[in-house]
Amino acid sequence: VMRTDTKEICVFCQSAVNEINLKKARTACGAKEIAPVKPEELLSLTGYVRGGCSPVGMKRQFRTFIDKSALLHEKIHISAGVRGEQIELAPGDLISVTGATVCDLVL
DSSP letter string over 84-97? Answer: T-EEEE-HHHHHHH
Rounded Cα distance, 29 and 10, in Å:
8
Amino acid code (one letter) for 34 = I
**pLDDT on residue 14:** 93
Domain definitions of the chain by residue range? 2-103
Domain 2-103 is found in CATH 3.90.960.10: yes
**pLDDT on residue 27:** 97
- Buried b or exposed e, range 81-99, using 16+ CB within 10 angstroms: beeeeeeeeebeebbeebe
Going residue by residue through the chain (107 aa), what tens digit of pLDDT does each one get? 999 999 999 999 999 889 999 999 999 999 999 999 999 999 999 999 988 899 999 999 999 999 999 999 999 999 999 888 999 999 999 999 999 999 999 98
**pLDDT on residue 51:** 85
**pLDDT on residue 107:** 84
**pLDDT on residue 76:** 96
